Structure 1
Amino acid sequence: MSSSEVLQALPIPVLVVGQDQRVTGQNGAAAHLFGADLLGRHVATAIRQPALLEAIEAVLVGAPHADARLVFSPHGRDLIYNVHVATLSSERSAILTFLDVSRQEEAGQMRSDFVANVSHELRTPLTALTGFIETLRGPARDDPAARARFLDIMEKEAGRMNRLVTDLLSLGRLEDMGWMRPTDLVELDQVILMVINALNPAAKDRNVDVRASFDTTRPVIVLGDRDQLTQVFTNLTENAIKYGHKGGTVQITVKAVAQMPAFKGPGLEVTVQDDGDGIDSKHLGRLTERFYRVDNHRSRELGGTGLGLAIVKHIVNRHRGRLRIESTPGAGSCFSVTLPVPDPT
């Protein structure tokens, strides 16, 4: 096998640069990355990052190898490569191999952001608890009214931390089992009626009328995890009650869809519609991100952890379903979950 055949067989981008710093060889992966017309051109016309050009020059003047990073956006998406430059002594050239580490970098940034967000979410209630404890030990020690008021607030903050930890554990379990598709038969109408019944006290507190309609003539059965589906519709319905108008209506509709292109078969669509203030379109694409909130203050006041819709997304994905969010400022929001139905055969 010739050196050219070896070069073309490599799955990662590879360039060969001669003593005059012109490209003398490239494989198909490099052509896809930099363009097919690179041969014979000065390497600086394709790579304009000084650190990498310095690494190439160092190897061409005698260094055995050098490493650098390449960050650029060839196809509208930021890519990060670790580039190893080594000497090709038989041809007095430098060979560059490009290892794509974009996903690892993104994962690292996501972990860093996640830790920062969790720390921030926990710091606020912990700071409040610490402050109230100091006050109860000092100025409010002999003030029964203040003590009762502070203990109520401390209970609320402790509950918030507990919900946050519970949601984090739930999200972690979902990520671990995301590839495992549920196999139990679940009567979706019974799940939704149970959710409405469980949230009846919260609905009464806000004088909200939660209605359900089942626009289907076939059994409302899906393959799923009953507890997780209960969590999905609890989260969505509870949000609709919280963010809808007091004295308003939350409408839950279940309907059969004869043919879903995404499933290549029939499905069931459940929509949860509120009559609240709605959400600006600029927020819709980020609502399922962890800790993303449209209104931080209001969400915290209502006891939200910022993880509810992220959990919904993970559960729906595990069920091979689809989540769609539609909202118009001033006209409420509609969250739709579509799930495939089992083959009747």
Structure 2
Amino acid sequence: MNLLKSKIATLKKVHEKKRRVMEAYYDKLLKASLIISIVPNMGICLLVLYNRLSLLEGILSGILVFLSSMLFAKPYLDDLSSLTAYVDDLTVGRSTRPPHLSFINNVEQLSKSVLNLQRRWGEKAIELEAALAESSILFDTIPDVLLMIDKDLNILRANNAAVNSFRRGIIVTNLKDMTEDEGLIKCVGEVLNRGYGDTVEITMKSNNKVQDFLVMVEKFPVRSIAGIAAVIIMHDITEEKRRKQLLKDFVANASHEIRTPLTSVMGFLENLKTLDEEENNIEIRRKTRKKFFDIMTEQTNRMAKLLNDLLSLSKAEMNGGDALSEPVNVESVVREVVNRLTHLADEKKIKIKIDNLQDSPIVLGSYDELSQVFTNIISNAIKYGKDKSKIEISKIIATDFSRSAQMPKNCKKLLLISIKDEGEGISEQHLPRITERFYRVDKLRSRKVGGTGLGLAITKHILYRHCGDLVVESKLGVGSTFTVRLPVQ
């Protein structure tokens, strides 16, 4: 029933269209006939006026002229209708042959011209589609956040970087809903009023993270049908600012760490110069000199260790792009490090237990660098561990794991070496920063045990070079677990 109704409706539409076409055709035919018959009928009127023809003869002659004009005009109108239908078919892309025309000549030339016009339109359409596709791809692949807004600050369009940086519903929001930063809103308003671009630096919180952006606002250069008034480009400078701050902190901390022992040594050297003049007792002078020399030796060793750690860190960073192809038995590395550090553990009566490290898979890397990694972690576990406690070292082969950015995409397995201690633990607020240069959880205690604040920073860079990472879990009063994750080739 529905199909029948649909067919009836279609037939009605076709019939109505044909009726309108025929009405237009006969309207044109009558007009053309009238125009053609005007001059002859004017002559007939003059003949009647001068009594050369009777009135009846004049009327019959006028009707005959009009009918003759219709017979004369009809073939031309038929040709024009056919030609119009032919051009209409070509404009919609329908393939058709040129019509056979009775009175209008050069139809082949006309059809060729129309076909050329159609081809040029097609080429222009393809060029336009390609340009639009290129613009769309460029718009969505730009790594910076790109927004297009209207004069009311409504976001009309946002690229993929904007959607990923903020939220999925960004396209239907207003700029004021996206950020509360008055600096950006003011900058956009000034650009819309003045007509030329401006730059502003803002801080935004989105997806539970704080980001810094360098924002460039430009007025849209042409009148937009969509109502685009301005373009906003937001370059994420969070990492850049973090690195600048790290460099600033590094220079300040390095200067402080070197200046402190150096000042101490210089002070004791000055004291040694005047010791003979101020103290007459030879035995006291001898003991004082020994005390001063012991302190200067300790401070000198502290500076030497700091410089060695700085060199190790620099080496780890500079060698970041070098390929590592040395097969390394991690079990051998760990056991060698434990044997070397056993005397330090014995001094605090700490027991180191190695569990199920046998049959550890081979990894590609550097034996010496991985030895430095485990030396840093295990020595920290001893330094900050409680007396008469224990350190447990174990392994896991993981096939289901969270993948860090530096890990190979074809990596199917990870070797996890965990070092668990029973120290004081690290509070949650310190965990994200413990691998930063010179960062110390307890500065006083760290200096007392001889720490430079660079060990875990070196560890992080070496593991990154090995396409691995370091995972730290800790609980205050219970202890910490440092897990080295290395891809298995």
The verdict on a shared fold, with TM-score over 0.5 as the criterion, is yes
Aligned counterparts of 2:235 and 2:212: Cα–Cα separation in 1: 8
Q: Is the 8 A contact 1:185 1:222 kept in 2?
A: yes
- What one-letter code is carried by the residue in structure 2 that aligns with 1:283? H
- What one-letter code is carried by the residue in structure 2 that aligns with 1:289? E
1:14 corresponds in structure 2 to 147
Aligned counterparts of 1:17 and 1:300: Cα–Cα separation in 2: 58
- What one-letter code is carried by the residue in structure 2 that aligns with 1:133? L
Q: 1:240 to 1:105 in 2, by over 3 A?
A: closer
1:188 matches 2:330: yes
Alignment partner for residue 106 of structure 1, among 242, 256, 278? 242
Aligned counterparts of 1:24 and 1:286: Cα–Cα separation in 2: 37
2:201 corresponds in structure 1 to 69
Residues 153-210 of structure 1: CA distance to partner in whole angstroms, max 9, x if unpaired?
1111111122112112212222233344522111223222322232233334334444
1:227 matches 2:363: no
1:205 corresponds in structure 2 to 347
Aligned counterparts of 1:230 and 1:306: Cα–Cα separation in 2: 18
Q: 1:151 to 1:256 in 2, by over 3 A?
A: same
Q: Is the 8 A contact 1:268 1:340 kept in 2?
A: yes
Q: 1:59 to 1:225 in 2, by over 3 A?
A: same
- What one-letter code is carried by the residue in structure 2 that aligns with 1:295? D
- What one-letter code is carried by the residue in structure 2 that aligns with 1:274? D
Q: 1:7 to 1:145 in 2, by over 3 A?
A: same
Deviates more, 1:179-188 or 1:261-270: 261-270
**1:222-261 aligned within 5 A:** 222-253=363-394, 255-257=395-397, 259-261=399-401
- What one-letter code is carried by the residue in structure 1 that aligns with 2:250? F
Compute the displacement of 1:227 (Å): 0.2
- Rg larger for: 2
- What one-letter code is carried by the residue in structure 2 that aligns with 1:257? I
Alignment partner for residue 36 of structure 1, among 166, 171, 174? 171
Alignment partner for residue 127 of structure 1, among 238, 246, 263? 263
2:454 corresponds in structure 1 to 307
What TM-score results when the alignment is normalised by the length of structure 2? 0.60
Name the structure with the higher strand share: 1
1:278 matches 2:425: yes
Residues 229-259 of structure 1: CA distance to partner in whole angstroms, max 9, x if unpaired?
1111111221222222334443433x35263
- What one-letter code is carried by the residue in structure 2 that aligns with 1:118? A
Q: What's the Cα RMSD here?
A: 3.3
Q: Is the 8 A contact 1:182 1:319 kept in 2?
A: yes
Aligned counterparts of 1:90 and 1:260: Cα–Cα separation in 2: 53
Aligned counterparts of 2:264 and 2:190: Cα–Cα separation in 1: 57
**1:43-192 aligned within 5 A:** 44=176, 46=178, 48-62=180-194, 64-88=196-220, 90-91=222-223, 93-139=229-275, 143-180=285-322, 182-192=324-334
Aligned counterparts of 1:243 and 1:179: Cα–Cα separation in 2: 33
Deviates more, 1:259-268 or 1:270-279: 259-268
- What one-letter code is carried by the residue in structure 2 that aligns with 1:324? V
Q: Which has the higher contact order (CA 8 A, sep 6+)?
A: 1
1:334 corresponds in structure 2 to 481
- What one-letter code is carried by the residue in structure 2 that aligns with 1:144? R
Name the structure with the higher helix share: 2
Aligned counterparts of 1:55 and 1:244: Cα–Cα separation in 2: 55
2:157 corresponds in structure 1 to 26
Aligned counterparts of 1:24 and 1:283: Cα–Cα separation in 2: 39
Aligned counterparts of 2:398 and 2:150: Cα–Cα separation in 1: 59
Unaligned runs of at least 5 residues, structure 2: 1-127, 280-284, 404-410
> What SS class does the counterpart of residue 182 from structure 1 fall into?
coil
- What one-letter code is carried by the residue in structure 2 that aligns with 1:160? R
Q: Is the 8 A contact 2:192 2:219 kept in 1?
A: yes
Q: 1:260 to 1:132 in 2, by over 3 A?
A: farther
Aligned counterparts of 2:400 and 2:449: Cα–Cα separation in 1: 36
> What SS class does the counterpart of residue 209 from structure 2 fall into?
coil
Q: Is the 8 A contact 1:15 1:30 kept in 2?
A: no
> What SS class does the counterpart of residue 166 from structure 1 fall into?
helix
Aligned residues between the structures: 335
Q: 1:25 to 1:307 in 2, by over 3 A?
A: same
Aligned counterparts of 2:335 and 2:463: Cα–Cα separation in 1: 19
Residues 128-151 of structure 1: CA distance to partner in whole angstroms, max 9, x if unpaired?
223222222235765222221111
